[in-house]
């Protein structure tokens, strides 16, 4: 009996995490990535780009949730830093930004 409950709970958890859509974006490039990581870590010690980290969604909130108290600081800091990055990286970052925001909002709903 107990085993059955555990097994059912485990399969529900599996379904919940499988419901997270695939984060199917091109890598930002080393310069832009370094900027977002550096700025993020200044604002939140556990900021991460690691998708397997429990802090990943929380980290995405800094650049994809406009209501986040640190959203402005993140955008300003990362934006200033990125100004020195290769144009191709900046263009890619901008090109993917909106779709990443949509992904973040869906993932957030799926994680609740």
Residues 8-37 that bind ligand NAG (CB under 6 A): none
Among 11, 46, 98, 111, binds ligand NAG (CB under 6 A): 46
Within 10 angstroms of residue 93's Cβ, the number of other Cβ atoms is 23
Nearer of residues 15 and 45 to ligand NAG, judged by Cβ = 45
- In the complex, minimum distance from the CB of residue 92 to ligand NAG, in angstroms, rounded to a whole number: 29
Distance, in Å, from the CA atom of 108 to the CA atom of 93, rounded to the nearest integer, reads 21
Q: How many CA atoms lie within 13 A of 62 on its CB side?
A: 26
Residue window 92-111: x/- pattern of binding to ligand NAG, with contact defined by CB under 6 A: --------------------
Q: Is residue 53 close enough to count as binding ligand NAG by CB under 6 A?
A: no
- CA distances 32 to 3, 28, 47, 108, Å, are 48, 6, 15, 24
* Residues at the interface with ligand NAG (CB under 6 A): 45-46
């Amino acid at each position: 009996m107990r085993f059955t409950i555990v097994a059912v709970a485990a399969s529900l958890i599996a379904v919940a995490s499988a419901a997270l859509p695939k984060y199917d974006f091109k890598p930002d490039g080393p310069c832009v990535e370094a900027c977002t990581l550096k700025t993020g870590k200044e604002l939140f010690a556990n900021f991460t780009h690691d998708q397997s980290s429990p802090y990943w969604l929380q980290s995405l909130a800094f650049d994809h949730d406009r209501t986040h108290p640190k959203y402005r600081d993140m955008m300003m800091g990362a934006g200033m830093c990125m100004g020195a990055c290769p144009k191709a990286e900046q263009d890619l970052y901008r090109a993917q930004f909106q779709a990443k925001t949509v992904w973040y909002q869906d993932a957030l709903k799926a994680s609740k």
